[in-house]
Amino acid sequence: MNTLSVVVPAFNESAHMGDCLDALLEQREYIHEIIVVDNNCTDDTAAIVLDRRRRFPMVTLVAESERGVVHARNTGFDHASGSIIGRIDADTHIGQGWAKSVLDFFDRRLDYAAVTGPINLYDSPWAAPYRAYVSYTTKRKPDELRVSAASGNNFAIRRTAWQAARDRVSLRTDLHEDIDLSLCLYRVGLQIAQIKSMCVEVSGRRLLTPPLEYRHYVASSYRTWSFHGLANKSLRRLLVADMILHTLHWPLTRMLSTCDSRILPVSHSDTSVTSDRHLSSLPRGEFATAASGK
């Protein structure tokens, strides 16, 4: 039987950490452990986590001093003992039945290594129309759909698949670590699914990012796909359209929003990593182990 560990990387997330943990703890019947990774927090994030730990020993706080989401994620994943590792952001609120749907999926579908689901917004003036858009597009898709990449704010992976990809993921902080991991799985033949029942809500604070700063975020997306040799003109057009849309709605979003802008999870450049591990193929025997979850 599979067990679920949930990893939450955190840097100065005191405004959101309590609600994030409370949503997870409501589903503790299906969660083996919750691991929060303190990535050099200077606010009350650690105190909030320790308060929950005093009441719920399944909550664990670990530290990662090297700055960057990729390093915090790696530390959390390496600490996880469950056969399934969930990954959300500190501003993620998991939906009703989230944990059970993750476990049910991996028990039933041995051919998939990872899974994701629909993402809605809260604390945003665009929450209602965005929810309507997600609902409309989701209804038009199958209940289970194969995807090439998944967002780190709503993600789960078999621990054996993580171990297979661990030495292949990039340590560059100017790449999107969630896309990089997804593409590492893709490159070695491990599949990611999207399922309708794995719903979460995330803060709309990234929509408050100033356009010039948001441009770096979009550039990191293209850079990550390019790093894997998978960037193309269609992706470029999609990202340019995203950047234009963000620039257009940003003034009104800033006027109507009540939340604060978030720090972007990627750096503008990374000179700390001079080389990256070769993305070699995964032997079939190793794939079988990853798929089975054993």
258 CB contacts (<8 Å, ≥6 apart)?
123
What residues in the chain have per-residue pLDDT under 50?
271, 273-294
Question: What separation in angstroms does the CA of 74 have from each of 14, 38, 85, 147, 231?
Answer: 22, 12, 11, 22, 25
pLDDT digits (tens, 9 = 90+) for 22-53: 999 999 999 999 999 999 999 999 999 999 99
Q: Mapping DSSP to helix (H, G, I), strand (E, B) and coil, where does residue 106 land?
A: helix
- Rounded to a whole number of angstroms, the CA Rg of the chain reads 18
pLDDT of residue 267: 72
Reading the block at residue 289, the tokens are 């182990």
**What domains lie within the chain, and their CATH numbers?**
4-206+277-292 (3.90.550.10)
Reading the block at residue 134, the tokens are 């997600």
pLDDT digits (tens, 9 = 90+) for 222-275: 999 999 999 999 999 999 999 999 999 999 999 999 888 776 677 766 645 433
pLDDT of residue 263: 67
Q: Phi-psi bin for 170: left (phi > 0), alpha (psi -120 to 50), beta? A: beta
Question: What separation in angstroms does the CA of 43 have from each of 46, 54, 71, 170, 200?
Answer: 8, 19, 20, 29, 25
pLDDT of residue 187: 87
Angle CA 242–271–240, to nearest 5: 10
| CA atoms within a 13 Å half-sphere pointing along the CA-CB vector of 96 | 0
282 CB contacts (<8 Å, ≥6 apart)?
164, 188, 189, 190, 290
